[in-house]
Amino acid sequence: MALRLHGTGKAKRREAAAEEFLASASGPATPERLRLCGFQRVMARAKEPEAFRGRDAWRLSTPSLYRPLYRSAAVILLVVTLLFGSTAALYAASSGSLPDSWLYGLKRAFERARVAVAFSPSSRLDLEVRYGQRRLEEIREMARSGRVRGGERWLAEYERFLASAEGRLDALQEEERDAWRSRLALLLQEHEVTLREVMGYAPAGLVPLVERARGRCAESCARMRGGPGESPDRGGGPPGDRGPGGEGDHGPGGEGEGPVQQGWDDGSCPSLGSGGAAGEEETGGQSREGGEGLGEPQGPGGGGEAGPCGPGGWQEMTGKR
Amino acid sequence: MREEKEDLEALAERAAGGDEEAFRDIYESLLDPVFRYFYWSLGSYEDAEDLTEETFVRCLAAIGRFDRRKASLRTWVFVIARNVLVDHLRAKGKVKTEALESAGEVPTAGVEARWEEEERDRKVREALRELPEAHRQVLVMRYFLEMDNGEIARVLGRTPGAVNALRIRALRRLGKVLEKKGWL
């Protein structure tokens, strides 16, 4: 009994001490935010659509990564960022790759994707041309560093560029097509000169491939020079197929005689003033000088005015004098 | 007290009829006890703020269903507050008991006195954390909201006798906690 009383007394003391302890606490004042603008917030939230007034609605008021809605949004944002980030990193890494690299496939995939999403046929062709320039840079770099591996792949891509550029001409309006044809002809002429230069310092294993690319380039260039009336098939045979005279159908200058045809016979693109004794090297020099100089007769045999790519034809196609 | 109750219930009827000012008066009358209820139940200043706001949003949405014959407005509001708390605890999976930094605002007290008050509050929060949820609820309502056993019983859905027994058990348990911590 005494024990029980003692125990009860102890419990009572505990109760009293606990009550005293609780009474000693004052607690914080109600936050000013609630006092001053809490009511407006309550009224505003009550006017929100029913869906936002559910039992979890208060969670919307304070963003926190620990709350499911914000956590999901943060995860989605992170995934999207990582996706974009890794794509950008791959793009950057692959942009300088050469055909012997595993990244080259990615580089080409990015290029194809970009062409595919271009808005107009003209901008698609513009991109193709830019990527064609890249192919040229690639073969230069390969030749300079003595790489042979990946040469076949490069050739395939280069041929694809030529075919694609020609093919895309058909999708253009007639006026645009003529302007593009002239631009492509000039560009391919430059390509051909560059490829010829590359052959001068490329390793032996690469030379036949570059030579083949140069041949294809010359054929394509010739078809461009042929003007709107020229069938693409005409360039399909060996460059030497085109006989002197050219039937007069290679453009406005079309008498087809003389020096320009010599360029075709040796496998180069028939170009302005490239005929006669001017020779191949001079053709290259003229191309790089560009524009106005191209129409001038070069060298002792430079009577280029009669050929399809002679001054007459060139001026007709480009509108330049 | 009686007058306040009648006032609150009359305000509730006006608020149910679309009187915004009436609801503002209810809000101002019950803001402090509702905030204190959440603060001592959770030990978190920020959560107490959020849940106080949520309680009044729910009150406003349901004010048309308030029936003064069943309970006083204060009891009715605390039933809603209790539901908000239960939802919160369910969502969190546990009671959030983060430490507070300068939770108390006692602008009139000096630095030393304020520190002592904050230290006391910290101990009370810490001791309350050691108790089961039901014990904590009874003590908070009885000692921080000054509710009587009948009112607590209506909020918790128990009988007044059961609430009294629960309160005594809760106090004894709290006393043990205080002994264990050497705070007695």
Distance CA B157, CA B152 (A): 8
**What's the confidence (pLDDT) of residue A235?**
39
User: Is B20 in contact with A43 (Cβ distance < 8 A)?
Assistant: yes
Q: Measured between beta carbons, which residues in chain A are less than 8 angstroms from residue B52? A: 34, 38
Q: How confident is the model at residue B161 (pLDDT cuts 50, 70, 90)?
A: very high
Instruction: Tell me whether A39 touches chain B (CB under 8 Å).
Output: yes
AA identity, residue A95? S
Nearest C-alpha neighbor of B36 from the set B24, B50, B25, B52: B52
**Chain A window 183-242: which residues touch B at a Cβ cutoff of 8 Å?**
none
Most confident of A259-268, A286-295, A311-320, B28-37: B28-37
pLDDT per residue as tens digits for the range A218-230: 998 888 877 544 4
Q: Which of B103, B104, B176 sits opposite A14 (nearest CB)?
A: B176
Neighbours of A63 (CB within 10 A): 11
pLDDT per residue as tens digits for the range A160-212: 999 988 888 888 888 788 888 888 888 898 898 889 989 988 898 889 999 99
pLDDT per residue as tens digits for the range B40-49: 998 888 889 9
**What's the confidence (pLDDT) of residue A166?**
87
Q: Which residue of B has its CA nearest to A30?
A: B32
pLDDT per residue as tens digits for the range B20-34: 889 999 999 999 999
Q: Measured between beta carbons, which residues in chain A are less than 8 angstroms from residue B171? A: 14-15, 18-19
Higher pLDDT, residue A71 or B151:
B151
Instruction: Tell me whether A11 touches chain B (CB under 8 Å).
Output: yes
Q: Measured between beta carbons, which residues in chain A are less than 8 angstroms from residue B46? A: 62
pLDDT per residue as tens digits for the range B130-158: 899 899 999 999 988 889 999 999 888 89
Residue A67 has pLDDT above 80, yes or no: no
Residue A301 has pLDDT above 50, yes or no: no
Instruction: Indicate the average pLDDT of chain A.
Output: 70
Residue range A2-17: mean pLDDT, rounded:
68
User: Is B52 in contact with A22 (Cβ distance < 8 A)?
Assistant: no
Residue A249 has pLDDT above 60, yes or no: no
Instruction: Tell me whether A31 touches chain B (CB under 8 Å).
Output: yes
Instruction: Tell me whether B172 touches chain A (CB under 8 Å).
Output: yes
Nearest C-alpha neighbor of B106 from the set B121, B123, B127, B124: B121
Q: Which of B27, B105, B184 sits opposite A39 (nearest CB)?
A: B27
Distance CA A258, CA A302 (A): 10
Higher pLDDT, residue A63 or A247:
A63
CB–CB contacts below 8 A, A to B: 118
Instruction: Tell me whether A22 touches chain B (CB under 8 Å).
Output: yes
Q: How confident is the model at residue A268 (pLDDT cuts 50, 70, 90)?
A: low
pTM of the shown model: 0.43
pLDDT per residue as tens digits for the range B64-120: 888 888 888 999 999 999 999 988 888 877 544 433 333 344 344 456 666 777 788
A interface test, pick of B25, B35, B86, B121 with most A CB neighbours within 10 Å = B35
Residues ≥6 apart with Cβ < 8 Å to A175: none
Torsion of CA A171, A174, A176, A181, to 10 degrees: 80
Q: Which of B27, B120, B184 sits opposite A17 (nearest CB)?
A: B184
Instruction: Tell me whether B111 touches chain A (CB under 8 Å).
Output: no
**What's the confidence (pLDDT) of residue A307?**
37
What DSSP string describes B4-62? HHHHHHHHHHHHHTT-HHHHHHHHHHHHHHHHHHHHHHH--HHHHHHHHHHHHHHHHHH
Nearest C-alpha neighbor of B79 from the set B64, B95, B69, B66: B66
pLDDT per residue as tens digits for the range B8-21: 888 998 898 888 88
Instruction: Tell me whether A30 touches chain B (CB under 8 Å).
Output: yes
